[in-house]
Amino acid sequence: MIKNNKLMGEWRVHETDSAELQSFLLNHFGSSTQSTSRVVDYTRDDRPLLRLSYAKSGKLLEISTTAELTKTDIRAIGNGIESFLLAPGKEMVGRSILFAHDAVEGHFERPRDFAILPLPVDAPRPPFGHGDHPFALEFTYTGSVDAAVRASRHARRARELELILCALVPAFKSAGSHSIQMEWVLGRFANNAIAASEFLQLGYHYPGDGFGQQFSPNVGIPVLGRAPANEVYGGRRPLGPAHLPDDLEASLDRVHQLDPLKRAKFVRAAYWLQTAGLIWHLSSSTAHVALVSAIEALFAPVQSQPCDACGKPIGPGPTALFKTFIEEHLPSYVPAAVKSELYSVRSAIAHGDRILLSDMGLAPTDHLGAEEWSLGSRLMRVVRLAAWQWLHHGRQTAAS
């Protein structure tokens, strides 16, 4: 391989999205290999033609080529990047299905951004009040003349918006797995007996599940109700889609105003918060670790000088940073002893010293199990409220 960094300027690679660039190159060459996580070789007929080398941060450092990379390839790649990745794309409307703890009978719209809408009356719904009640999330995204690029942009836009909304609206839940997942399910009840189990793909669909290139009309659909944000995030308001926080627009504005690094932090925190909710019934221990990770995702990097004597970093450790973050953003909400316990339980689980009792088949009615359940529920509220406070009032200090 010979360094050929002039192609960076010729192809305008630093103006492209890294994931889209790699997907485009893979489609062009047909195959790729990775000797390390930072070096990608694109091959044709098992012969390497192009290499991209990345820094640990993900930034592209250099391009290398072999003599077999033809001028035709170079020209075709440049034209493709220009047409598929860089050319202004048409604004398109996408759609995904999310769920709420209670039925969503109203709508919410953020013009030219996204809309929340109830599903048609014939769409499948839970047969009881509380459950995974489906609703439509319609959103705008930038299209492309290339179908693969369009699909990628649709999926990433849907996923980020899902994470942000599920973090800002406690009543909302994820659509679940974003890959094909099969599970054993109980058959329908008949004559008070359970039918034989079936191994089925998880997912939600209903006949006529389609949409156009504009948000669906909301004429005649009431607006989703609001509740004071401090009650929604503080856990003093029952969950329900009629209880959107009254500052939702302001929160969304704050997310969009964050610089790329801080926005990425918030999205990572939202991911861990959502993950904790999804896996709580499978592993309360893992959910506890995920919730603490959500707080850690909001920490600012701490540059510590090494100790001259032992070489270890000088400065606050993760436990101290966790406590400082909670103290700064929730100064009177969490007692000092509870702050220590929240993190110490996480450390014991993460280092293999503890598994929560509920994950060992013990009912939470046991006093220790009930205590663990209470601690986990408190941590869920702490994380959601701390993330909201960080978004609106966070001081960008060493722990935020």
Q: Could you report the per-residue pLDDT of 382-397, keeping only the tens digit for each?
A: 899 999 999 998 653 3
Domain boundary among 245, 264, 293: 245
pLDDT tens digits along 236-248: 655 666 679 999 9
Contact 150, 144 (CB under 8 A): yes
User: According to the model, what pLDDT value does residue 127 have?
Assistant: 84
Asked whether the predicted pLDDT for residue 254 surpasses 50, the reply is yes
Specify whether 100 is located in the same domain as 72. no
Specify whether 146 is located in the same domain as 18. no
CA gyration radius, the chain: 25
* Residue 265 domain flag: no
Domain boundary among 197, 230, 245: 245
Q: How far is CA 188 from CA 127, 196, 239, 392, 396, in A?
A: 13, 8, 29, 47, 53
C-beta atoms surrounding 217 within 10 Å? 10
User: According to the model, what pLDDT value does residue 303 have?
Assistant: 57
Specify whether 95 is located in the same domain as 16. no
Query: Mutual orientation of helices 318-329 and 284-296 as an angle, nearest 10°?
Result: 70
C-beta atoms surrounding 374 within 10 Å? 11
Specify whether 81 is located in the same domain as 96. no
Strands of 108-110's sheet, edge to edge? Answer: 108-110, 114-117, 133-142, 91-100, 172-173
Specify whether 142 is located in the same domain as 225. yes
Specify whether 67 is located in the same domain as 143. no
pLDDT tens digits along 32-50: 998 777 899 999 988 999 9
Asked whether the predicted pLDDT for residue 99 surpasses 90, the reply is yes
If one counts the domains in the chain, the total is 3
What average pLDDT does the segment 319-331 reach? Answer: 84
Give dist(CA 251, CA 249) in Å, integer: 5
Domain that includes residue 133, residue range: 91-179+209-245
C-beta atoms surrounding 301 within 10 Å? 7
pLDDT tens digits along 266-279: 999 999 999 998 88
Confidence band, pLDDT 50/70/90 cuts, at residue 134? very high
* Residue 295 domain flag: yes
Residues 6 or more apart whose Cβ sits within 8 Å of residue 361: none
* Residue 258 domain flag: no
Specify whether 70 is located in the same domain as 139. no
User: According to the model, what pLDDT value does residue 399 have?
Assistant: 39
Specify whether 116 is located in the same domain as 80. no
Give dist(CA 324, CA 239) in Å, integer: 29
C-beta atoms surrounding 163 within 10 Å? 21
* Residue 70 domain flag: yes
What average pLDDT does the segment 165-169 reach? Answer: 93
Which tops the pLDDT comparison, 10 or 335?
A: 10
User: According to the model, what pLDDT value does residue 356 have?
Assistant: 87
* Residue 273 domain flag: no
Query: What is the pTM assigned to this prediction?
Result: 0.86
Most confident of the following: 200-214, 275-289, 373-387:
275-289
Give dist(CA 201, CA 181) in Å, integer: 6
User: According to the model, what pLDDT value does residue 185 have?
Assistant: 87
Alpha carbon 305 to chain centroid, angstroms? 33
How many helices and strands in the chain, by DSSP H and E?
11, 16
Asked whether the predicted pLDDT for residue 398 surpasses 60, the reply is no
Specify whether 225 is located in the same domain as 97. yes
Specify whether 239 is located in the same domain as 340. no
Strands, DSSP E only, in 242-326? Answer: 244-245
Confidence band, pLDDT 50/70/90 cuts, at residue 232? confident
Smallest CA-to-CA distance from 392 within 252, 246, 265 is with 252
State how beta strands 114-117 and 108-110 pair.
antiparallel
Contact 211, 93 (CB under 8 A): yes
Region for 399 from its dihedrals, namely left if φ exceeds 0, alpha if ψ lies in -120 to 50, beta otherwise = alpha
Domain boundary among 47, 68, 86: 86
Give the total residue count for the chain: 400
Confidence band, pLDDT 50/70/90 cuts, at residue 71? very high
Specify whether 149 is located in the same domain as 224. yes
Contact 24, 149 (CB under 8 A): yes
Specify whether 95 is located in the same domain as 78. no
